[in-house]
Structure 1
Amino acid sequence: MTFLRRALVPAVGAVLVLLLTSPAALAHDRLKASNPADRAKLKSLETIELEFTSHMQLPTIVLDGPGGKPVPLDKPRVQGNKVFARPTGTLQEGRYRIAWRVVSSDGHPIQGELAFAITAPDPSPGPSEETSTPASSPEPQPASAQPPSSSPVAATRADRTSGLPGWLWAALAVVLAGGAAVVLAARRKPRPGRG
């Protein structure tokens, strides 16, 4: 029984150590983000940027263009957890593939690939489109073709017919005030036959 306990305790301890340390051992460094992103469609690209989960060493980046032709890149440089590389020229329209390889912080080499596409730029408006009159601005009409409401005389007539004139409002106020005065005077007079 004592021998069994002595053999069982180290075995259980070794299993616990393996269970606790295996996730850390399996969690190798990896690519965290990239610019361009995988399968991205871009108008242009000036710098390739690869971000890893840890500091990388000895980076190698290869860029293939349309038709599998190699595209020259500057020497990759490492800054913190990121690796940068710049194409030496302007990328033309087409599909591209990035192949990268680095040595991780634990000494193991890791590698991968990314694909992206350079799309055609938006067409710029031609000279005829720039000088043309916008559709939203109507052409000026001759004086004879303009609607009657735009003339000053017609506008004055419209103002006169919309609502009551001012003198009519004044007369109505005088009539109402006079009527109120008559009603008040009639209430104050004593009725005949009383008193």
Structure 2
Amino acid sequence: MTRLPRIPLALLLTGALVLAPGAAQAHDELTGSEPVDGATAEAPEEVTLTYSGQIATVGATVQVTDEDGQEVTDGDPEVEGTSVVQDLVDDLPDGEYAVAWRVTSEDGHPISGEFGFAVTGSQEQATEEETSAEESSAPAPTEETGAAETTEPEPTTAEATEEETEDAGRETTTEGTSEATDAATEASTDSDSGGLPFWAWAFIAAAVLGLGAALAMSWSRARR
């Protein structure tokens, strides 16, 4: 029976004991993410996870939830070598988000973890973009617009009523003055066309009667 040398066998056993923990700890691990853990930035379009080794294309899951626990992912994650990319819904509102992931490393061992990030400034940016779009779509002022701005404003209903009342008063006064003038003119015309006035005719009639009475008295005396 052949006996193995004791010293080489001891060395082999020692090496196995040293290398065994190293092999057990050789699983892949997460080395980075975008957004990074604890970051605060504008709303991202996707979450990218980077690992120390190749990731199996089957069994990868990435869940991103908001403060209310609602999932904001869009579709399934895509495995690209050592990276896993998960698309997110558009226009994430401001707030905090949690990421929970689970993948299978190259050696077939499943690994998992979680981290979080915050979104801020998305609402302010959307408001600024809407304001800028409205300003850019507003028509440029033309010469006609400038002329219209310099014209006098139209009178209000009360002012228009006062102006109409004043115009009506002026028309009434003008008509009264015109009628009085016409009446005076007509009276003057009648006086001219009729000859002497009434008092002159009365005086002539009295004179004729007086003359007739005097002649009658003279004739009566002559007969006596």
Q: Could you tell me the TM-score, scaled by structure 1's length? A: 0.57
Greater alpha carbon shift after TM alignment, 75-84 vs 14-23: 14-23
Structure 1 alignment gaps of length 5 or more: 131-195
Question: What is the total number of aligned residue pairs between the two structures?
Answer: 126
Please list, as runs of the form range in 1=range in 2, the aligned pairs for 1:34-73 lying within 5 A after superposition.
34-57=33-56, 58-73=59-74
Partner-residue secondary structure (3-state), 1:71: coil
Q: CA deviation at 1:42?
A: 1.1
Kept in 2, the 8 Å contact 1:51–1:82? The answer is yes
**Corresponding residue for residue 26 of structure 2:** 27
Q: CA deviation at 1:69?
A: 2.0
**Corresponding residue for residue 121 of structure 2:** 120
Q: Which amino acid aligns with 1:10?
A: L
Q: CA deviation at 1:21?
A: 5.2
Q: CA deviation at 1:8?
A: 4.5
Q: Which amino acid aligns with 1:32?
A: T
How far, CA to CA, are the matches of 1:96 and 1:59 in structure 2?
Answer: 19
Q: CA deviation at 1:13?
A: 1.6
How far, CA to CA, are the matches of 1:70 and 1:20 in structure 2?
Answer: 43
Structure 2 alignment gaps of length 5 or more: 136-224
Please list, as runs of the form range in 1=range in 2, the aligned pairs for 1:69-148 lying within 5 A after superposition.
69-121=70-122, 124=128
How far, CA to CA, are the matches of 1:79 and 1:114 in structure 2?
Answer: 21
Q: CA deviation at 1:27?
A: 2.3
Higher helix proportion: 2
**Corresponding residue for residue 172 of structure 1:** none
Higher strand proportion: 1
Root-mean-square deviation (Å): 2.8
Quick check: which has more Rg, 1 or 2? Answer: 2
Kept in 2, the 8 Å contact 1:29–1:104? The answer is yes
How far, CA to CA, are the matches of 2:93 and 2:26 in structure 1?
Answer: 38
Q: Could you tell me the TM-score, scaled by structure 2's length? A: 0.50
How far, CA to CA, are the matches of 1:24 and 1:109 in structure 2?
Answer: 16
Kept in 1, the 8 Å contact 2:73–2:86? The answer is no
Partner-residue secondary structure (3-state), 2:10: helix
